[in-house]
A and B are shown apart, each in its own frame.
Chain A
């Protein structure tokens, strides 16, 4: 881990894309008006299981990546496990927005490599538009809430992390996961994030007057956040220079250092759909590039990336 910038190797774990849902780019409203997060997640899990010819009992760890849960607590993972009828396995909930799947890959690959799990299901689910649920059809007039409202979108996607020895039908791509992965974090929270408190902090940290004034909305200062990112890359992940294609889920365009191309900016395709973004990008990726760089950018700012190498069928 200490020499991550200068070394690149691949684990014996593969990422197997599943099924994703979500519609619309930046200009489109959410299609999920009457859906709950766990319903959306269960839909993609059920379809993915069918695609992989697996059943829920074949999964021995579920990692849910989301910021938008059915209940404040327990998290989405409990509701999802119940919906798919899986009892008795661990359900881990990670809250990271766009970098969530990279964090989940690190845990899942570690579990599989150490023989602690055979098949880890990763689900990214977001109904981010609901942060602005009381402003449907009435855009926020105030910046920086307006900027966040413009990009927050919904969706869900899945993937499976398992041993490279596991076989799947030839039409399902498999990608070996790189190790180490690349992480950057700065602890600056003011330019992008959400102060909507965990509900249990509301009485003392946010008042009814704050609610009326819209101070509970997520906020994004695009220019300042982009400047934060530029400083953070520093000794950039040189592994990203060597891949054939990069999929980036960031709240601003041009998040990668200049010159790292070709890059598919998922923001243009899907809007900013947090933890669902990279999984939607991976599930929908059909080109035959042999190496893919996945890059997630979350509030913090936090940057995480992983390199995937296409495995032979």
Chain B
């Protein structure tokens, strides 16, 4: 899968986040934490949540966020929903378990009833998997236009107590989308895409339950603070160590595969997991000013983070036609990857 690619381009981007902004001070009312503690360890100042504290889920839901992001991306691409042949839906937090949210969004947006839809569950690297799926459909002639959306609503799954403070402060809700189609210029589009994984560390980052490895996938005790199997778990030091090594290495590999120099990159759009990791990435590549970051405002939005950051970068004028842009991720699985795009 590590070969030259040309001809599949990003035609439009979009993003959406819930209106409700949750500050570090807000979280300090539920758990023993502080603005200083959170910022020092993650660089996060706020996040956008669909959840209103301990009280209720105020929305919008997963499908509504995805719909808004896709609508913005379609408008940017100047395309009607009816021309989209496939929807790649990347999330680990759909509104319902089965059938997920893709068909709901497709109906709301007015996509055709013969749309091919793909429910992808690949966490922080999910957007890169989505790009790989879209590219395969486009290159093989199965589709002419493909929409890829990464969307997460994670706030409702956070443990808002001292037992959950290691993870609850990190995650945010949001969506980012791209429309992919034929490139209009020679050499433009997705040039390189590499995804790799190592399942040895599957238990080090994620959510254990519901677990179908057990006779009963989910029980009330999974929500106890003493056995919080239904809430995120994370080996932060291991992830920091591995991500700090893997992410710069993946950027170097896609750049080398294309035969360009690191200095040719105009922008690096990484998965927004932690500002400390992004700082390490910038230092390792000797290009801190080229590492795009919006984690201070949104936190870690898992599968949504790269397309959300990309959409903001485009609208901020950070990406121009002809620029070399790299995406890079590391996350649960563990799974990691990078893509190189000639904009």
Q: A residues near B, CB below 8 A?
A: 1-2, 4, 11, 33, 36-38, 60-61, 67-75, 77-83, 87-97, 103, 106-107, 109-111, 113-117, 127, 130-131, 133-134, 136, 179-187, 189, 193-205, 208, 211, 216, 218, 232, 234, 298-300, 302, 304
Contacts and interface: CB of A to CB of B under 8 A. Distances in A.
Contacts of A4: 114
B96 A73 contact: no
B320 interface: no
A94 B118 contact: yes
A79 B204 CA distance: 12
A186 B113 contact: yes
A202 B157 contact: yes
B259 interface: no
B205 A74 contact: yes
Contact of B211 (A70, A115, A304): A70
3 nearest A-B residue pairs (beta carbon): A200-B157, A110-B136, A82-B199
Interface string B139-177: 111111000000001101110000000000000000000
Contacts of B154: 200
B324 interface: no
B226 interface: no
B333 A183 contact: no
A89 B200 CA distance: 13
Interface string B100-126: 100110111000011111111111000
Contacts of A194: 96-98
B14 interface: no
Interface residues of B, number: 82
B220 interface: yes
A91 B205 CA distance: 16
Contacts of A78: 197, 199, 202, 332-335
A119 B187 CA distance: 27
Given A199-B207, A216-B218, A74 B123 contact: yes
Nearest to B108: A187
A298 to B, nearest CB: 6
17 contacts: A38-B213, A73-B206, A78-B199, A81-B199, A90-B195, A113-B139, A117-B1, A131-B217, A133-B216, A133-B217, A185-B117, A199-B208, A200-B93, A200-B232, A203-B157, A204-B57, A300-B99
A68 B121 CA distance: 12
A185 B93 contact: no
Contacts of B184: none
B223 A107 contact: no
Contacts of B133: 92, 107
A191 to B, nearest CB: 11
Contacts of B93: 198, 200-201
Contacts of A216: 218
A127 B212 contact: yes
Contacts of A185: 103, 106, 113, 115, 117
A72 B78 CA distance: 38
B92 interface: yes
Interface in B45-60: 51, 56-57
A147 to B, nearest CB: 15
A69 B213 CA distance: 7
A184 B214 contact: no
A148 to B, nearest CB: 10
A195 B333 CA distance: 25
A74 B1 contact: no
A107 B1 CA distance: 13
Nearest to A117: B1
